[in-house]
Structure formats: structure tokens, C-alpha cells
């Protein structure tokens, strides 16, 4: 077990950049070489294709890519990773977002390990469809479906997304892939149906 941990740490150090943040209790290392990371020029078409496939399945028009929403998402994930937020979910409450910009609603995905490819992240959100009851516009008890309803929200016209990988070394190696997408106009408006 100790040998495996030493090998994993050695491999991680071999591919790391030299940036790090330290505090009295921990050191957080930040790496930028995730094999699944795609530059936005390649990721954007994948995000759009996956979103628009789900939207077409319920008769909703396609989204367009928003560079400004993608830029905001990029700033947020960079702040999360580089700003010592320990790779946790972002505070995407309306109050928190309005401090910096007035933007629409959002989805986020956090995965232990490498980033998921853009299509796979959107597919994870779309999997929530099985918990959505269109007849009474509700989610199945003890399940979430808000990520799915945002993906297919008819009145949302634009999307912009960003991804980043974060590595932490505490007692063990922890690696996280973070994806955030913002939508405009906002979806998941109480009392309205997505489609």
C-alpha cells in the first residue's frame, strides 16, 4: 500500500507545475496537465453538441456559445483552484454571483480524478431526466433533476463553460476535475416548466 502511494505521488510530481499555495495546515499543489483537458476552442463544440442533443430530444431549440459566460466560468474555476478553495463546489448562489456579474443560472460538476470530457459532464446532468416528472413539473422524491432541467430550459439561449483540474496533497493525493457552465437567460425559474 505504501509503495503504491509512493509511486502515485512520484508520478504526480513528475507531471506537475511548480505552483503551490501553503498554509499552516496544508500545502495545495496545482497542476495543469490533465490528459482530458481540452482548450476551450475544442471543448466548446463538445459542450454545445451535448447540450443541443438533449434539447432536441424534447423539442427545444439549440443553445449558442457565449464567450462572455465562458470567460466568467473560467475566472470562477481558476479562482476556485488557484484561490485556495480546495477544489470544492463553488458557491453559485444568486447572491454570490451578483457580487461580480449579473449572469444567468448555472450547473457544475465535480469529479474525483481526472476531468470528464465535456460530453460526459453534460451526459451526467442529462441522466437526471429519469427523475424529472414533466406532468407535474417536479423531481422524484429524494432525487435532484435541476441540472437536467437547466440543460433543456427553453428560454435559455446561451451557454458558456469552463473546466480545471486541481490536485491536493494532505494525508493522501486528492485530484478533482471541476466543470461549471453558465446559462442566459437563467433557467429553473420557480413555477415555470423547462419545455
Q: Which of 30-34, 55-59, 189-193 has the highest mean pLDDT?
A: 55-59
The pLDDT score that the predictor gives to residue 80 is: 72
Q: How confident is the model at residue 175 (pLDDT cuts 50, 70, 90)?
A: confident
pTM to 2 decimals? 0.74
- 86 DSSP assignment: T
Residue 22 bridge partners (DSSP) = 27
What's the mean pLDDT when you consider all of the chain? 78
- 3 DSSP assignment: H
92 vs 186, residue with greater confidence: 186
**What percentage of the chain's residues is helix, strand, coil (to nearest 5)?**
35, 25, 40
Q: How confident is the model at residue 37 (pLDDT cuts 50, 70, 90)?
A: confident
Amino acid at each position: 500500500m505504501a509503495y503504491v502511494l509512493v509511486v502515485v505521488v512520484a508520478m504526480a510530481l513528475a507531471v506537475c507545475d511548480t505552483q503551490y499555495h501553503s498554509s499552516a495546515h496544508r500545502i495545495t499543489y496545482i497542476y495543469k496537465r490533465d490528459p482530458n483537458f481540452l482548450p476551450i476552442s475544442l471543448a466548446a463544440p463538445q459542450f454545445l453538441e451535448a447540450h443541443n442533443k438533449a434539447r432536441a430530444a424534447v423539442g427545444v431549440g439549440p443553445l449558442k456559445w457565449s464567450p462572455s459566460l465562458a470567460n466568467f466560468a473560467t475566472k470562477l474555476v481558476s479562482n476556485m483552484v488557484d484561490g485556495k478553495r480546495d477544489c470544492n463546489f463553488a458557491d453559485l448562489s444568486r447572491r454570490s454571483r451578483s457580487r461580480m456579474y449579473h449572469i444567468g443560472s448555472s450547473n457544475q460538476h465535480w469529479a474525483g480524478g481526472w476531468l470528464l470530457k465535456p460530453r460526459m459532464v453534460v451526459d451526467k446532468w442529462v441522466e437526471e431526466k429519469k427523475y424529472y416528472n414533466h406532468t407535474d413539473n417536479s423531481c422524484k422524491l429524494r432525487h435532484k433533476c435541476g441540472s437536467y432541467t437547466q440543460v433543456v430550459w427553453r428560454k435559455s439561449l446561451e451557454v458558456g463553460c469552463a473546466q480545471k483540474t486541481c490536485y491536493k496533497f494532505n494525508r493522501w493525493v486528492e485530484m478533482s476535475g471541476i466543470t461549471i457552465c453558465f446559462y442566459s437567460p437563467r433557467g429553473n425559474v420557480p413555477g415555470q416548466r423547462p419545455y
